[in-house]
Chains A and B, each alone.
Chain A
Amino acid sequence: MKTRLRDSSQLTVSVAAYVSIGAFALFCLIPFWLVYIGSFTAESQIVQGFRLFPTRFSIDAYRFLLQGAQIYRSGFVSIFVTVAGTAGAVLLTSMFAYVAAHPKVKYRYALSFYIYFTMLFPPGLVGYYLLISNWLDLRDSMLALLLPLLFSAFNSFLMTAYFRTLPFELNEAATADGAHELYIFFRIIWPISKPVIATIALFYALSYWNDWFNALMFIDNPHLHPLQMMLRRIVSNSQNLDYLNTNVNLPVSATSVQLSAVVLTIGPIVFLYPFLQRYFMKGMTIGAVKG
């Protein structure tokens, strides 16, 4: 009797879990699905609104977008900024986080506090704007997209928390053998820190890829607009598809062009996602609460 009771209660909880998690997963998926389907829907249909299933299939929106020059310029800017920025950011952050975690470094807590203070008392938007546009004079330069995201205090603390868990006896032994500090860091520490480095790289890559605010504030030249800025332009001003620099004359609606641009913009993320997931699930939880 008792077992049956427990079984039925277990069953209720299980069913509730499967149903509600399944429902929330669908809720998360549906907007993507609608955008994806919409991007392949013919102009005559899309004006009647979004559909869950395509009614008349068309790739005109993609042809329109891909025959213009802007998608290639913006794609190049996005890829360049993401690759160069992520490489630089991971290198700088990991070196700093390692030193901030190293037991031999007497001022490691002072270094951490130096970073932490910027979270306590952020510089504010006015100072940030003046720095980039007036003092460093980076308006309409790709550096205005690269430099501001090169270091994140949060990522640095995540890495420091990880490095603190390393067995520093490894270093002692290597130092005794006369190995250089840089050698120890790149040849011994990096290989055993892959999950956290992959996690941080993913975070930086996403912040570069998804950044639109710096472009909005500092970049007027369309040749230097990243994909997110291109998308923002054609969303906020849907009359103005000239911006895409297309010569072809296809009967496309602004909506379907927007949707196909979204698909191309988030495509790389969705494509790489399964490969990265197993890393960041591990790396995220190492020191997340302790920061």
Chain B
Amino acid sequence: MGIGRELMKNKWLYAMSLPVVVYVFIFSYLPMSAHLLAFKLFIPVKGLWGSRWVGLDNLKFFFAGPDWLGVTLNTIFLNLLFMAAGTVCSLAIALLLNEIRLVYFKKVTQSLVILPHFISIVVVNLMVVNFFNGQDGLINRMLGRVGVDPVYWFQTPSVWPWLLALIFVWKGAGWGSIIYLATLTGFSEEYYESARIDGARSWQMIRHITLPLLRPTIIVLTLLALGRIFYGDFGLIYGIIGDNSLLYHSTDVIDTYTYRSLRSTNMNSYSNAAAVGLFQSVMGLVTILFFNWAVRRVDNDSKLF
């Protein structure tokens, strides 16, 4: 009955899982102890345990400062924007691809819309810089041709949430459509057959059959994304905005803020970064648990645990 007997009985199976168990302990559980730094004044030579406790000073410093509300709101706003744009575009791509009958056209276009997903952010950044940069960048020359004054993109924070959403869609919407497409190709042909006999038009079938059937998938994916609303897309945002402080006002999220706190030459940089990180992890945990509970209420089969 005991744990020991179960481990002995399936010792080879447990042994197969051991490398990952040890790995995850070292790479995920051990670093969690660094959250304690949020309550300490970290001196690298003294290490995590040797450093002095300072109670809530670091957290007070973060919440008393001018930044915390801005980065938190930016994180939430950008995530909502990405979610809305991503969901609408992925769904539209899936529905439209499903209407295409020419097999060759479908294959080629589907390959093309997924391709950007496989490209590193460094490459995306290079494209963005070269297309938007300066007065003679590609975009500004095109604007000039239709008589619009050039925009100094890298000095205009207000456009960046929308540009980042555009880049997010360019990079991820095709990839996101795979899951919707796979779901809707599984729907029974009978629904469509009987609708056709009743004289339904194509867009009526999309609106009254396909979309309602896709609803659970859309809701579950949205709730899962909402659960991660306190985690900014670090790769995309830092990869493209980098250290351009002119754009922080609209693009600085909790993750980029933490990274900058960590790198700053401030003597308390580790502890400040840890305080922000703790705030994020706690908020993240609460939202994930809440939205997983919500997923379970919507669709018990899709719950995560």
Contact = CB atoms under 8 A, between A and B. Distances in A.
Interface of A: 2, 5-6, 9-10, 12-14, 16-18, 20-22, 24-29, 31-32, 34-35, 38, 48-50, 92-93, 95-96, 98-100, 102, 104-107, 111-116, 118-131, 134-135, 147-148, 150-151, 156, 180-182, 185, 206, 209-213, 228, 231-232, 235-236, 255, 258-259, 262, 265-266, 269-270, 273-274, 277, 281, 284-285, 288-291
Given A102-B13, A125-B258, A206-B118, A10 B202 contact: yes
B14 A105 contact: yes
Contacts of A262: 123, 126
B255 A125 contact: yes
Contact of B17 (A24, A96, A235, A255): A96
A112 to B, nearest CB: 7
B31 A123 contact: yes
Given A21-B109, A50-B138, A124-B31, 18 more contacts: A14-B202, A26-B112, A28-B116, A31-B127, A92-B23, A99-B17, A123-B34, A126-B262, A151-B23, A180-B12, A181-B10, A210-B121, A213-B234, A231-B122, A235-B122, A258-B126, A259-B126, A284-B179
A269 B302 contact: no
B141 A17 contact: no
**Central interface residue in A31, A113, A265, A290, by most chain B CB within 10 Å:** A31
B277 A124 contact: yes
Nearest to B115: A28
8 contacts: A17-B97, A21-B100, A35-B127, A96-B20, A124-B35, A182-B16, A228-B122, A258-B126
A151 B25 CA distance: 12
B21 interface: yes
Given A29-B112, A98-B16, A181-B16, A104 B10 contact: yes
A250 to B, nearest CB: 20
Nearest to B100: A17
Interface of B: 3, 6, 10, 12-14, 16-17, 19-21, 23-24, 26-35, 37, 44, 48, 92-93, 96-97, 99-101, 105, 108-109, 111-116, 118-123, 125-127, 129-131, 136-138, 141, 170, 173-174, 178-179, 182, 199, 201-203, 206, 217, 220-221, 224, 231, 234-235, 239, 242, 255, 258-259, 262, 270, 273-274, 277-278, 280-281, 284-285, 288-289, 301-302, 304-305
A210 B122 CA distance: 8
Contacts of A105: 10, 13-14
B27 A131 contact: yes
A122 B127 CA distance: 31
Contact of B24 (A13, A17, A114): A114
| Interface of A (DSSP majority class) | helix
Nearest to B97: A21
B203 A50 contact: no
A113 B24 CA distance: 12
Nearest to A96: B20
A12 to B, nearest CB: 8
A265 B119 CA distance: 9
Contacts of B136: 48-49
**Would you list the 5 A-B pairs with minimal beta carbon distance, nearest first?**
A127-B31, A127-B34, A210-B120, A123-B31, A124-B277
A41 to B, nearest CB: 12
**Central interface residue in A17, A32, A127, by most chain B CB within 10 Å:** A127
Contacts of B19: 92, 95-96
Nearest to B92: A20
**Central interface residue in B44, B112, B262, B274, by most chain A CB within 10 Å:** B112
A285 B178 contact: yes
Contacts of B29: 118, 123
Nearest to A125: B258
